[in-house]
Structure 1
Amino acid sequence: MEMAKRIVLLAILIRAALSPLIAFANDPSPLQDICVADFASSVKVNGYVCKALDAVTVDDFIYHGLHIPGDTNNGNRQRTTQVFVNALPGLNTLGAGFARLDFAVGGINVPHTHPRATEVFLVWEGALYMGFVTTDRRLFVTTLYKGDVFVFPRGLVHFQINVGNGPALAFAGFNSQSPGLLQIAPTLFNSTPPIDDSVLRSGFRVDQATVDQIRANFRTA
């Protein structure tokens, strides 16, 4: 009996030691086969309420149109087509998401983070310079080409920019149905309500004219 208690205690200690490394890397595991998101429900949970099973159809598990290029006629010359739970309700509770990323020449997916997901990034066409920065400000950066895969760790600031002579195309997978997106510059300079200018002046060590110029750039984007 004493040996059994020691084994149980050891197992508890090992799990406690490993818990920061496992179990919390993505969305919670589902407790049923399917839980198609019910967008009509007013109930708010950590995710979406499950649609009634008799209302679920095969269309809840299909997304059409990812073969269509995204419109890159914008300030960043880049467009991301997201296939998250809002676009594909069958993803609800499954801890997965997908995206198509189109880049015109010189197009950039500006520095941003996904607070709820790790991202696996596949270059389909073109040449993309990309990287991420760790919390101790170490930069990991490279240029990748057709068929190359890169991983962006959860929550870290990262970016991609087209450095080729033609358009670039990539696809990305996420271990969350709703990874979240925080673009660094728009988040800080175009929030609602706006962050006080004194914070931005001090945080970026710039004058008021620079803060005003950056704000104006994002308000007209």
Structure 2
Amino acid sequence: MPPVIFLLLSLLLLLLLSSSHAADFCVADLTGRLTPSGYECKKEAAVTTNDFVFTGLGKAGNTSNLIKAAVTPAFVAQFPGVNGLGISAARLDIAPGGVVPLHTHPAATEFLVVTQGTICAGFISTANNVYYKSLNTGDSMLFPQGLLHFQVNGGGTTAVAIVSFSSPSPGLQITSFALFANNLPSALVEKVTFLDDAEVKKLKKLLGGTG
């Protein structure tokens, strides 16, 4: 057999063998090291069925708070089985008058399905174009990765949605909290938001910020 053909066959065999032993999953070892690609894997002998089951999405979240909304996450920290699989989920409860303020998920696209009530939802593109719609039970909407988006209760009853993400750890940054719930000096906040001193101080007090 010519050496080149032998080499190619050997490489093909190695690829086949390596693919046949590819990991089926990587359940997160939450006590281990977190890397940019996810948590270290739990030893397979320690993996159980419960690592692939999450029961929290059937229970309503507590909406007795400032925004009258609650998010119940099934991210890798709560659901180790999603580690490395590029997916996670959450339940969203929004009481009448409630809102999930403008926020972003830096690491994931979001897919929302309304399961109860009416939700007005939308996002803003980097070209500052706004896409929003009133969604009823059974309707769904996409929010592209990293873009500012929001959800508002659009009716007189509690609204519920199930959302999925294209990452086990989508990340979250709420714009109003990022601006007013920290110790960034008010004078700087006023410069970057064009708000006056009284309004900035009012929002800082409301959201727990200082400075």
Which TM-score band (shorter chain)? 0.7 to 0.9
Determine the C-alpha separation between the residues in 2 that align with 1:109 and 1:207. 25
Alignment-mate amino acid for residue 107 of structure 2: R
Cα shift at 1:188: 1.4
Of 153, 171, 179, the match for 1:188? 179
Of 132, 153, 156, the match for 2:123? 132
**What does 1:56-135 align with in structure 2 at a 5 Å threshold?**
56-135=47-126
Q: Does 1:45 align with 2:35?
A: yes
Q: Does 1:204 align with 2:193?
A: yes
Cα shift at 1:44: 3.5
Secondary structure of 1:66 counterpart: helix
Which stretch shifts more, 105-114 or 198-207?
198-207
Determine the C-alpha separation between the residues in 2 that align with 1:57 and 1:158. 37
Q: Does 1:216 align with 2:208?
A: no
- Which runs of 5 or more structure 2 residues have no equivalent in the other structure? 1-21
Determine the C-alpha separation between the residues in 2 that align with 1:91 and 1:206. 42
Aligned to 2:161: 170
- Which runs of 5 or more structure 1 residues have no equivalent in the other structure? 1-30
Query: Under a length normalisation based on structure 2, what TM-score does the superposition of the two structures give?
Result: 0.85
Determine the C-alpha separation between the residues in 2 that align with 1:218 and 1:180. 20
Q: Does 1:141 align with 2:132?
A: yes
Indicate the RMSD between aligned Cα atoms, in angstroms. 1.3
Determine the C-alpha separation between the residues in 2 that align with 1:124 and 1:39. 31
Secondary structure of 2:39 counterpart: coil
Query: Under a length normalisation based on structure 1, what TM-score does the superposition of the two structures give?
Result: 0.81
Cα shift at 1:199: 2.2
Determine the C-alpha separation between the residues in 2 that align with 1:133 and 1:201. 23
Determine the C-alpha separation between the residues in 2 that align with 1:187 and 1:32. 39
In the alignment, is the contact (CA less than 8 A) between 2:113 and 2:140 conserved in 1?
A: yes
* Percentage of pairs with the same residue: 38
Aligned to 1:27: none
Deviations 1:138-161 (A, max 9, x none): 111110101101000110000010
Cα shift at 1:65: 2.8
Secondary structure of 2:66 counterpart: coil
Deviations 1:174-214 (A, max 9, x none): 110000000000011113xx223232111111222221111
Which stretch shifts more, 54-63 or 205-214?
205-214
Determine the C-alpha separation between the residues in 1 that align with 2:149 and 2:160. 17
Q: Is the radius of gyration larger for structure 1 or structure 2?
A: 2
Determine the C-alpha separation between the residues in 2 that align with 1:123 and 1:68. 15
Of 26, 32, 36, the match for 2:27? 36
In the alignment, is the contact (CA less than 8 A) between 2:101 and 2:151 conserved in 1?
A: yes
Deviations 1:95-132 (A, max 9, x none): 00101101111110111000100011101111111110
Secondary structure of 2:56 counterpart: coil
